[in-house]
Amino acid sequence: MEHATFDHNEEQYIVHNPKEVMQILNDLIKHKAMLKVSFNRGADEYLTNIISIDPKVGAVYLDIGVDEEFNRRLLASDHVVFLKEDGVKIKWTSTKVTEASLKDGKAIKIVLPKDLIRLQRRDFFRFATPVVSPVMCRILVPDVLDPEVESVLELTLVDVSLGGIGAFVSAPLNPAVVIGQEFSGCKIGFPDVGETNLTLMVKNITEIHTKDAVTKYRIGFVYVEPSRGNEGLINRYVYILERQAIALAHRG
């Protein structure tokens, strides 16, 4: 496997887990995703897609271009960027590209990437969390009259994105929960992933009246400078929810 090089602002979105890397690459094959290949500092570009992966030898095979001179420059390049731009952004780099002969013709061959970037646009793709076994968010809320006294406020998550969460809480609403307020040490136990320790800021509050005359509040939170470890947990859980949503859509 080959380590990639990424920009500083992309580091928090790096996927290191080999199984996750393989799953992402296999998804690209399954959905016939188009990848932009860029080299010579962006002077040369073309579109391709992954043909197959051979984990035994640690190789990824992709469609080759039709222009021989272009292919010569590609094979001579020591820094090639592979990028999926639409929807969820996938990116990795390779330092060596070789030509391979497959049963269906020629292809380019790269070393299976050891890590890659998986970046979901923050303004989109909010995924609903489970209803049957709800995910809880526990927030330490200071007493309005005595800030040194704290209580634990439990909220039920309704959706998650890479930018924040949405949660329900029953009335009455704690007076400390106001738009713009930040809460540190927030615990969210993401199933099959782990527990976060986040600082959350209240972005919006919506009062909701249910059919059985129960009043609830939907609170939108944004993450405040999450650590790389917490970003990784969030990324992995969003990825799980995304795959579940895709599987459900296919069954429908």
Q: What is the pLDDT of residue 148?
A: 77
Dist CA 13 CA 133 (whole Å):
27
3-state helix, strand, coil in the chain (%, to 5): 20, 45, 35
111: number of CA atoms within 13 Å, CB side?
A: 14
Look at strands 116-119 and 136-142 and give their pairing. Answer: unpaired
* pLDDT digit string, tens, across residues 90-142: 999 999 999 999 988 899 999 999 999 887 654 457 788 988 889 999 999 88
pLDDT, average across residues 238-246: 83
Residue 120 confidence (pLDDT):
63
pLDDT recorded at residue 31: 85
Share of the chain above pLDDT 90, in %: 50
Q: Determine the pLDDT at residue 7.
A: 57
Q: Which of 69, 75, 78, 73 is nearest to 107 (CA)?
A: 75
The 10 Å Cβ neighbour count of residue 26 is 14
Can you name the residues that pair with 82 across neighbouring β-strands?
A: 37, 92
pLDDT band at 143; cut points 50, 70, 90:
confident
Report CA dihedral (226, 228, 229, 231) to the nearest 10 degrees.
60
Binned at pLDDT 50, 70 and 90, residue 245 comes out as confident
| β-sheet bridge partners, residue 167 | 157, 219
Average pLDDT, the chain: 86
Enumerate the β-bridge partners of residue 249.
Answer: none
Give the pLDDT score at 121.
57
pLDDT at res. 22: 94
Q: What is the pLDDT of residue 13?
A: 78
Sketch out the chain's domains with CATH numbers.
Answer: 8-119 (2.30.110.10), 127-251 (2.40.10.220)
Tell me: the pLDDT tens digits for 190-215?
999 999 999 999 988 888 766 566 78
Angle at 53 between CA 48 and CA 56, to 5 degrees: 155
Q: Above 60 in pLDDT, residue 185? A: yes
pLDDT tens digits along 72-89: 999 999 999 999 877 678
Residue 123: per-residue pLDDT: 45
Chain segment 167-178, per-residue pLDDT in tens: 999 889 999 999
